[in-house]
């Protein structure tokens, strides 16, 4: 049995708690939360402490707090030489205070409070200062997902950057699409199947091959007409820049 | 039984042919193709003609050719006063020569030759000059999909513009994400679950609420560090513009 203490009680910590509880091999012995827990399960509540000095013995301490708070929290632990990991995509492993053995346990997914999560589908990026600890994290990861990857801090930084493009920026394009629909009294739902298909398509084709549309065809007539349709300055700028970037990529390549 | 003649034998025409063939109520009586058909089914090949003058009687003539060719093709029909529809998202209904009765039958999806299509999931946007023809198109649509919408040419133009953002531009972001991974020897597949979740999330939350990431948090430290990571000029410009647009949207709103 591997014992885990969770530091933090937000979105990610709550989803991890549920995932670990459903395994045979992992036991969450404590959950640290600064404030009272909101609507979580009784057994999560029962394990809750509000003082880091009360942290008990565990095989792995998982810090699931905001990026800015990781370093500070890791300084306050009342023990040394234990395995302490954070769960952040953008912070290096070294942000963890050197009095303990550092590692990273980064689930590559975007979590919302309301939405149930299937960890079986989530890539887990792990890293540790030494081989033994990496094995411990590998075992922890495999208990909840078959997709465990050894990713160092430099690689994780690249993945996080890439995720900003494919997740945050993509979501902003969805927002713009929904605004354009709303202004014209068209239900945005009509675009849901297209959005889902766009995301699914690249699982079997690479995105460069999957591209279609006016910019891909260098169809200047449609491009000009769509630019005229846009009255919002920021939307217009994004349309122009993305179109220019697509045209530059395909250039005069034959369709 | 409703009879249909398909004008065109590309991606969309082939997918439509298959969808109609699987119904009880629709019969495709002819398929017009400029050139010999490639690898299509025998029964599609048997119905093929290469001369518009040989078009036979049908209840609906569906033009599924490139946007630029619709007007020209519709001028060459050897009949008048019949229902002729095009399948384009960006062309107005009026592009069809006035000697026949015009309509639109626009499946709101992106089609690839290699990928099978489930029309049950595809919104069909229909429009017609008169009520009777709209009913004919409604029946045609319902035979292959429960999602039939009455959308006029102005609305369709808006939908097409919105689709450029959520489909073409989004796919370009996937391309950039994959390039960033490739340059750093990280398999892009590691981001597939995140991409799929991003697309799924907005089916239950609106995109503005679903947003996360450094720009959403106005996290200038991470933003600067990611800008320094980017060496490609076009990627940098897109990062800057999207980030600025997201920050402007949320401003100092509390997280």
The string of pLDDT tens digits covering residues B222-247 is 999 999 999 999 999 999 999 999 99
**Encoding tokens for residue B41?**
């089914």
Which residue in A151, A202, A248 has the most chain B C-beta atoms within 10 A of its own C-beta, making it the best mutation to test that interface?
A202
Give per-residue burial for B82-117: e unless 16+ CB within 10 Å, then b: bbbbbbbbbbbbebbbeebbbbbbbbbbbbbeeeeb
Q: What is the mean pLDDT of chain A?
A: 93
Distance from C-alpha of A75 to C-alpha of A88, rounded to nearest angstrom: 17
Confirm if B84 and B96 have CB atoms less than 8 A apart: yes
The string of pLDDT tens digits covering residues A211-240 is 999 999 899 989 999 999 999 999 999 999
Domain B2-151 class in CATH = alpha beta
ipTM, two decimals: 0.89
Q: Which of B196, B206, B242 sits opposite A199 (nearest CB)?
A: B196
A223 → chain B, closest CA residue: B161
- In chain A, which segments carry CATH 3.40.50.720? 2-151
State yes or no: pLDDT of A51 exceeds 80. yes
Distance from C-alpha of B120 to C-alpha of B123, rounded to nearest angstrom: 8
Q: Which of B158, B168, B171 sits opposite A181 (nearest CB)?
A: B158
Please report the pLDDT score of residue A111 as a whole number: 82
Q: What percent of chain A has pLDDT over 90?
A: 85
B89 → chain A, closest CA residue: A213
A165/B177 CB distance under 8 A: yes
Q: Which of B125, B191, B229 sits opposite A163 (nearest CB)?
A: B191
Please report the pLDDT score of residue B254 as a whole number: 56
Please report the pLDDT score of residue A251 as a whole number: 79
Contacts of B190 in chain A (CB under 8 A): 108, 123, 125, 149, 159
Q: What are the start-end ranges of the H helices in chain A?
A: 11-21, 42-46, 70-75, 131-142, 153-163, 170-183, 192-201, 207-210, 220-229, 233-250
A170/B173 CB distance under 8 A: yes
Q: Which of A147, A149, A207 sits opposite B178 (nearest CB)?
A: A207
Q: Please state which of the ranges B44-48, B148-152, B159-163, B227-231 shows the lowest mean pLDDT.
A: B44-48
Confirm if B246 and A168 have CB atoms less than 8 A apart: yes
The string of pLDDT tens digits covering residues A102-141 is 999 999 998 877 778 899 999 999 999 999 999 999 999 9
CA distance, residue A236 to nearest chain B CA (Å): 11
Q: What mean pLDDT comes out for the span A50-68?
A: 95
Please report the pLDDT score of residue A36 as a whole number: 77
Residue B252 banded pLDDT, cuts 50, 70, 90: low
Distance from C-alpha of A13 to C-alpha of A7, rounded to nearest angstrom: 8
Q: Centre a 10 Å sphere on the Cβ of residue B197 and count the other Cβ atoms it contains.
A: 21
CA distance, residue B166 to nearest chain A CA (Å): 5
Contacts of B196 in chain A (CB under 8 A): 199-200, 203
Which residue in A194, A204, A215, A244 has the most chain B C-beta atoms within 10 A of its own C-beta, making it the best mutation to test that interface?
A194
A199 → chain B, closest CA residue: B196
A191 → chain B, closest CA residue: B163
State yes or no: pLDDT of A254 exceeds 70. no
Residue A49's alpha-carbon distances to A32, A60, B98, in angstroms, are: 5, 17, 76
Q: Which of A110, A82, A113 is nearest to A96 (CA)?
A: A82
Residue A139's alpha-carbon distances to A26, A28, A86, A96, A134, in angstroms, are: 10, 15, 16, 21, 9
Length of chain B: 255
Residue A206 banded pLDDT, cuts 50, 70, 90: very high
A185 → chain B, closest CA residue: B155
Q: Among the CATH numbers 3.30.465.10, 1.10.1040.20, 3.40.50.11890, 1.20.120.140, which is that of A156-250?
A: 1.10.1040.20
State yes or no: pLDDT of B195 exceeds 90. yes
Distance from C-alpha of A247 to C-alpha of B202, rounded to nearest angstrom: 29
Q: Which of B166, B190, B197 sits opposite A194 (nearest CB)?
A: B166
Please report the pLDDT score of residue B253 as a whole number: 63
B230/A121 CB distance under 8 A: no
- In chain A, which segments carry CATH 1.10.1040.20? 156-250
Residue A211's alpha-carbon distances to A40, A207, B157, in angstroms, are: 44, 6, 20
Higher pLDDT, B86 or A39: B86
State yes or no: pLDDT of A35 exceeds 70. yes
Contacts of A219 in chain B (CB under 8 A): 67
Sheet holding B124-128, edge to edge: B48-49, B26-32, B2-7, B60-63, B83-86, B101-107, B124-128, B148-150
The string of pLDDT tens digits covering residues B58-96 is 999 999 999 989 999 999 999 999 999 999 998 999 999
Q: Which residues pair with B86 in a beta bridge?
A: B63, B104
State yes or no: pLDDT of B102 exceeds 90. yes
Confirm if A84 and A61 have CB atoms less than 8 A apart: yes
State yes or no: pLDDT of B255 exceeds 60. no
Please report the pLDDT score of residue B44 as a whole number: 85
Nearby residues of B187 by Cβ (< 8 Å), 6 or more positions away: B181
Q: Which of B168, B208, B215 sits opposite A168 (nearest CB)?
A: B215
């Amino acid at each position: 049995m591997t014992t885990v203490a969770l530091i933090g009680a937000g979105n990610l910590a709550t989803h991890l708690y549920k995932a670990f509880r459903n395994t045979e091999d992992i036991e969450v012995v404590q959950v640290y939360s600064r404030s009272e827990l909101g609507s979580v399960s009784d057994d999560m509540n029962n394990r809750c402490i509000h003082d880091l000095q009360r942290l008990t013995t565990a095989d792995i301490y998982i810090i699931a707090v905001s990026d800015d708070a990781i370093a500070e929290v890791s300084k306050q632990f009342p023990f040394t030489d234990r395995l302490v990991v954070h769960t952040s995509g953008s912070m290096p492993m070294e942000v963890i205070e050197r009095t303990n053995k550092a590692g990273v346990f980064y689930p590559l997914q975007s979590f919302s409070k309301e939405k149930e999560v299937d960890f079986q589908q989530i890539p887990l990026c792990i890293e540790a200062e030494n081989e033994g600890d990496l094995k411990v994290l590998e075992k922890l990861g495999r208990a909840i997902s078959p997709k465990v990857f050894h990713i160092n801090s430099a690689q994780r930084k690249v993945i996080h950057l890439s995720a900003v493009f494919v997740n945050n920026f993509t979501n902003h394009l969805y927002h713009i699409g929904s605004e354009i629909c709303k202004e014209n009294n068209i239900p945005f739902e009509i675009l849901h199947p297209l959005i889902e298909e766009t995301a699914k398509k690249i699982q079997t084709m690479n995105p460069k091959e999957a591209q279609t549309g006016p910019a891909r065809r260098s169809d200047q007539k449609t491009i000009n007409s769509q630019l005229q349709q846009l009255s919002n300055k920021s939307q217009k700028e994004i349309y122009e820049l993305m179109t220019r970037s697509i045209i530059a990529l395909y250039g005069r390549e034959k369709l």
